[in-house]
A and B are shown apart, each in its own frame.
Chain A
Amino acid sequence: MSILVDEDTRVVVQGITGGEGKFHTKQMIEYGTNVVAGTSPGKGGQEVAGVPVYDTVEEAVEAEDADASVVFVPPAFAGDAIFEALDTDLDLVVAITEGIPTQDMAKVNKRLTETDTRLQGPNCPGIITPGESKLGILPGNIFSEGNVGLVSRSGTLTYQVVDSLTQRGIGQTTAIGIGGDPIIGTSFIDALEAFENDPETDAVVMCGEIGGEDEEEAAAYIAEHMDTPVAGFIAGRTAPPGKRMGHAGAIVSGSGTGTAESKIDALNDAGVPVGDTPEEVADNVEDLL
């Protein structure tokens, strides 16, 4: 079992003819992802890595009966690409693109209230169900099949933690990167709920970072609704207020909200052990299992 994606998920790649789109389409196919179509306006009729290209997402979804899309479109056009995907009946849209203007995402966010389609990201590494399917840019070789779910705001931090788990022989059901932007589709709570409902997931790792209040809200959710144990990590303990630490969403505001301390306290209060180092997170997962 897994959450959101499995070997049957039929995937459209938006922006398949661009450098990133092309490279990662090949990587996804190599991993076993069922990539059924790509889109690129004006390039309909071409093929990339044996995958048919369509001008619009609607055409691609209708012709190839797709369930999910993954967006590699550059930031200036990515908001539009997400709107296009949300106008079809896809179940899941995974936006990899980093650097989409926040006001574009506010408009997308409004649209999400009117559709059943789930958005993951943007500015995320994607989602992977080891051994079955990956949508995005995660390096497949570090993941292994198992019983731990992982949800994270950061890509490379996810790799770091997964690597520690895999090296100890602890595999994963699904790993999901929710993205480092201030406005994102799928939240920690959405992912935690899905893991809680997945019988194969015996423990969950949640990697948060400074900025916003999503981790605090997730802690409240864990305390109230989860039986599956959770191990936590929070990046940005040393970040000074008012400075954006790379991710647009990773900023401690002047009034002191969004600090690592407040997030760690909230998680501890919810019974979630928070590791000081990535290795300690792996130790905690071993204990929980």
Chain B
Amino acid sequence: MRLHEYQAKDVFADAGIPTPPSALATTVEEVVEQAEEIGYPVAVKAQVHVGGRGKAGGILLAEDETEAREAAEDILGMDLKGYTVEKVLVEGAVDFKNELYVGVTMDRGAGQPVAMVSTQGGVDIEEVAAEDPEAIAREHIDPAFGMHPYQARKAVYDAGVPKEVARDVASVLTTLYDLWEDTDASDAEINPLMITEDDEVIAADAVLNVDDDALFRHADLAEMEDEAAEDDLEAKANEYGFDYVRLDGNVGIIGNGAGLVMTTLDLVDYYGGEPANFLDIGGGAKAERVTNALDMVFSDENVDAVVFNIFGGITRGDEVAKGINEALGQFDQIPKPVVVRLAGTNAEEGREILNDELVTVEETLEGAVQRTVEYAEDEQ
């Protein structure tokens, strides 16, 4: 789960990392009110999950009320790389002389956490990593012990952080690691960590991505999930407990098992279609999950045809077939054509159960995908 900046900043501030005064606003009047309260100059920052917000016009500075009003009018409701901005963070602008980067993430190759510090903050850190990897100091952490204090100091010295602030930056990094661990985060980042003229350090941005698989032990963070979701369909998928990713195409895809669903997407593309989504109904799916899955895919207005691809291991073909009949039986008219391919456990029984008037049955994966792509083209 990816938190919004304002959510992440709350978590960082609670842990003791210095952040500028800020408040969330959803209307122009609220922006002006909050700006008055915080004191000018302020930054008005779009709260959407988009990289490079600043360059795209999603962050504006305001010196006074007129500028705050203009910034709010510009940003609220704007389309930022496909996302409509509904919330902005109004934040006291920080006068800085330096911008650093600090972050903690899981290095999956090494199978252990890594803490990172760089003096090239305020820019896309992935670009820095690609072009000048030496500019980022990295310290791998033994997760059984946590980060030793010397490791935080070492990362800060290795990165060449100015002496005057080294101790404070090391302290921020230590706090960041602890909160990364405490929140079961996958990534915790501050970019930029600003250094003021008075050598104070302040987190001007905050990134916190939490491991979805660990949300069961973080009720407080799980509560933020609905607010963090950006897409109605993705919110619905959370509710149903599906792994779902929305894409741009018009061929709806339902399957079991991540690798096989990805392969089905790839085949749709291979045969000239465009996938509308990734939807994994998981292992052992029963009739109700099948009904919910069809509901999900039909809710996407872009979908022109649906391919249902099940290879039964734990999942039983007859159960899936019953679910498909039940779900489609509820419609007077099937919204979009559905092609079904069943293989593996009880697949034959399943194919016998399926109602030919409701769905098209195909024996092979390749055949099912080609047929669905044709249907989707015909519907357009």
**Alpha-carbon separation in the docked complex, A23 to B317 (Å):** 17
- Could you tell me the distance in whole angstroms from the C-beta of B223 to the nearest C-beta in chain A? 18
Beyond the given pairs A235-B262, A255-B126, 7 more chain A to chain B contacts, judged by CB atoms under 8 angstroms and listed by A's residue number, are A101-B184, A153-B259, A159-B313, A238-B266, A243-B245, A245-B262, A277-B365
Dominant secondary structure of chain B at its interface with chain A: mixed
**Alpha-carbon separation in the docked complex, A272 to B255 (Å):** 28
- Could you tell me the distance in whole angstroms from the C-beta of B277 to the nearest C-beta in chain A? 11
**Alpha-carbon separation in the docked complex, A260 to B259 (Å):** 13
Among residues of B, the one whose C-beta sits closest to the C-beta of A184 is B111
- Could you tell me the distance in whole angstroms from the C-beta of B313 to the nearest C-beta in chain A? 5
CB contacts under 8 Å to A, within B147-161, are none
> Quick check: B259 and A279 within 8 Å, CB to CB?
no
CB of B143 within 8 Å of the partner chain: yes
Task: Please pick, from A101, A156, A260, the residue contacting B260 in the complex, using a CB distance under 8 A.
Answer: A156
> Quick check: B126 and A139 within 8 Å, CB to CB?
no
> Quick check: A254 and B313 within 8 Å, CB to CB?
no
The proximity string for B residues 266-289 relative to A, scoring 1 for CB distances below 8 Å and 0 otherwise, is 111110000100101001000000
Among residues of B, the one whose C-beta sits closest to the C-beta of A106 is B143
Among residues of B, the one whose C-beta sits closest to the C-beta of A24 is B314
Task: Please pick, from B111, B345, B364, the residue contacting A106 in the complex, using a CB distance under 8 A.
Answer: B111
The proximity string for A residues 266-289 relative to B, scoring 1 for CB distances below 8 Å and 0 otherwise, is 000000000011110000000000
In the complex, what residues of B have CB within 8 A of residue A248's CB? 211-213
Q: Which of A36-44, A62-70, A208-216 contacts B (4 or more CB under 8 A)?
A: A208-216
In the complex, what residues of A have CB within 8 A of residue B364's CB? 279
> Quick check: B144 and A107 within 8 Å, CB to CB?
yes
In the complex, what residues of B have CB within 8 A of residue A76's CB? 216-217
- Could you tell me the distance in whole angstroms from the C-beta of A22 to the nearest C-beta in chain B? 13
The proximity string for A residues 118-145 relative to B, scoring 1 for CB distances below 8 Å and 0 otherwise, is 0000000100000000000111011000
> Quick check: A157 and B108 within 8 Å, CB to CB?
no
> Quick check: B313 and A137 within 8 Å, CB to CB?
yes
Closest 5 CB pairs of A and B: A154-B259, A246-B258, A156-B257, A157-B259, A255-B126
The proximity string for B residues 62-92 relative to A, scoring 1 for CB distances below 8 Å and 0 otherwise, is 0000000000000000000000000000000
The proximity string for B residues 321-333 relative to A, scoring 1 for CB distances below 8 Å and 0 otherwise, is 0000000000000
> Quick check: B129 and A156 within 8 Å, CB to CB?
no
How many residue pairs link A and B with beta carbons under 8 A? The number is 170
> Quick check: B112 and A246 within 8 Å, CB to CB?
no
> Quick check: A137 and B259 within 8 Å, CB to CB?
no
- Could you tell me the distance in whole angstroms from the C-beta of B259 to the nearest C-beta in chain A? 2
**Alpha-carbon separation in the docked complex, A233 to B266 (Å):** 11
Task: Please pick, from B51, B111, B257, B258, the residue contacting A254 in the complex, using a CB distance under 8 A.
Answer: B51
Among residues of A, the one whose C-beta sits closest to the C-beta of B130 is A255
CB of A52 within 8 Å of the partner chain: no
CB of B232 within 8 Å of the partner chain: no
- Could you tell me the distance in whole angstroms from the C-beta of B251 to the nearest C-beta in chain A? 11
CB of B186 within 8 Å of the partner chain: yes
CB of B136 within 8 Å of the partner chain: no
- Could you tell me the distance in whole angstroms from the C-beta of B242 to the nearest C-beta in chain A? 9
> Quick check: A238 and B275 within 8 Å, CB to CB?
yes
The proximity string for B residues 126-149 relative to A, scoring 1 for CB distances below 8 Å and 0 otherwise, is 110110000000000011100000
Among residues of B, the one whose C-beta sits closest to the C-beta of A255 is B126
> Quick check: B213 and A182 within 8 Å, CB to CB?
no
A245-B129 contact in complex given A139-B312, A238-B266, C-beta closer than 8 Å: no
> Quick check: A101 and B213 within 8 Å, CB to CB?
yes
Among residues of B, the one whose C-beta sits closest to the C-beta of A113 is B111
> Quick check: A156 and B259 within 8 Å, CB to CB?
yes
> Quick check: A207 and B259 within 8 Å, CB to CB?
yes
> Quick check: B266 and A155 within 8 Å, CB to CB?
no
The proximity string for B residues 222-263 relative to A, scoring 1 for CB distances below 8 Å and 0 otherwise, is 000000000000000000000101010000000111111111
> Quick check: B106 and A182 within 8 Å, CB to CB?
yes
Among residues of B, the one whose C-beta sits closest to the C-beta of A99 is B213
The proximity string for A residues 152-164 relative to B, scoring 1 for CB distances below 8 Å and 0 otherwise, is 1111111110010
**Alpha-carbon separation in the docked complex, A66 to B344 (Å):** 31
> Quick check: B259 and A209 within 8 Å, CB to CB?
yes
**Alpha-carbon separation in the docked complex, A199 to B256 (Å):** 34
> Quick check: B262 and A209 within 8 Å, CB to CB?
yes
CB of A183 within 8 Å of the partner chain: yes
Task: Please pick, from A103, A155, A236, the residue contacting B313 in the complex, using a CB distance under 8 A.
Answer: A155
**Alpha-carbon separation in the docked complex, A156 to B280 (Å):** 11
The proximity string for A residues 232-249 relative to B, scoring 1 for CB distances below 8 Å and 0 otherwise, is 010111111001111111
CB contacts under 8 Å to B, within A211-230, are 212-213
Task: Please pick, from A105, A109, A239, the residue contacting B265 in the complex, using a CB distance under 8 A.
Answer: A239
In the complex, what residues of A have CB within 8 A of residue B129's CB? 255
Among residues of A, the one whose C-beta sits closest to the C-beta of B260 is A156
> Quick check: A110 and B109 within 8 Å, CB to CB?
no
**Alpha-carbon separation in the docked complex, A180 to B255 (Å):** 16
**Alpha-carbon separation in the docked complex, A131 to B212 (Å):** 38
CB of A75 within 8 Å of the partner chain: yes
> Quick check: A137 and B314 within 8 Å, CB to CB?
yes
Interface centre among B213, B245, B266 (most CB of A within 10 A): B213
Task: Please pick, from B51, B216, B270, B344, the residue contacting A277 in the complex, using a CB distance under 8 A.
Answer: B270
A110-B142 contact in complex given A243-B245, A246-B243, C-beta closer than 8 Å: yes
Interface centre among B181, B258, B269 (most CB of A within 10 A): B258
